[in-house]
Structure 1
Amino acid sequence: MPTEEEKRDLERAEEYEHITARATVIGKNKIELSTGLIIAARYADKLRRVALVAFSRVAPKDVIVRDVAELNKKLYDIIVKEMKLNKLSVIRILVDAEYNERENKLEFDNIRVIRYLTEEECSNQLKQLNEKIKDLEKELQTYKEKIKKIEQLLSSS
């Protein structure tokens, strides 16, 4: 029996099917899923809905929900532990998914999490990089001066 959340997702998945396509067919029972631009806090719901829409005619809904839940656990590790993103970070998730009829499961590979920066974050990073460039230019100048002194010492001896 589907939970209240799963029922809501199924209803929204049917809505999404009519409104927008977030899946690209890349082979028999193989589809690239895309969440579109979302905040990180919403990735699990969005990915589940996209998968439900994409695979609704191919795989049983309980299999889709089960296997996407496993994928979402992996994505949590990537988004929170590896990339250290906060809940409001803007991301897009792309993943290739294939329904394996023999094993009755969805298999995922080529998982990509793309983070988008705000203008302020870009400006801050640019500022930091410019400061680092200035520091490196000073360091380079120091080395050039040392090389000059060494060359002078070698030529005078």
Structure 2
Amino acid sequence: MSEEINRDVERAEEYEQTTTRVSALGKNRFELSTGLIIAARYADKLRRVALVAFSKIAPRDIIIRDISELNKQLYTKIVEEMKVGKLDVIRILVDAEYDEQNQRLNFTNVRIIRYFTEDQCKEKYADVIRENEELKKEIGELKQKLQDILKVLK
């Protein structure tokens, strides 16, 4: 684990110099963004972005601890609830605030955006068209039954 953390710290320092995926929202409060990534890499990327954002105001062990906790919650949502595949493209945005008094990072407004390929969109569109046609047919049948019932009642 230590080697992985050291690697992330080095990458975080590199990110700080090249691209920041952090927007300041207030004192000790930031919006963290992973950017577009494959789902399998979200945890590493989110940890690195948090290290960049909070490295000057929070102890490293607190950042790692709290981001790990968030990553566990995100795993459940991404894999089990949203059924996102490892190679699917996603973006995670989260508002994070460092609470100096309680020595914690607090996360709010977590957004997971899933992106689809053109083929996936076409497939979903075809499914919607198919379902729409079935519903039209069913509505037509119901209208006919209603007309038959009305004829019988007259």
Q: TM-score with structure 2 length normalisation?
A: 0.96
Q: TM-score with structure 1 length normalisation?
A: 0.94
Alignment of 1:4-153 (within 5 A): 4-153=3-152
Any gaps of 5 or more consecutive residues in structure 1?
none
Pairwise CA distance, 1:38: 0.4
Pairwise CA distance, 1:99: 0.2
Inter-partner Cα distance in structure 1 for 2:27 and 2:129: 49
**Could you list the per-position Cα deviations for residues 59-110 of structure 1 after superposition, in whole angstroms to 9, with x for gaps in the alignment?**
1111111110111110111111111111111111111110000011111111
1:15 partner SS: helix
AA of the residue aligned to 2:62: V
Aligned length: 154
AA of the residue aligned to 2:37: I
Inter-partner Cα distance in structure 2 for 1:82 and 1:29: 31
Inter-partner Cα distance in structure 2 for 1:3 and 1:28: 30
Pairwise CA distance, 1:154: 2.1
1:58 partner SS: coil
Inter-partner Cα distance in structure 2 for 1:47 and 1:21: 12
Task: Give percent identity, aligned residues only.
Answer: 57
1:139 partner SS: helix
AA of the residue aligned to 1:131: R
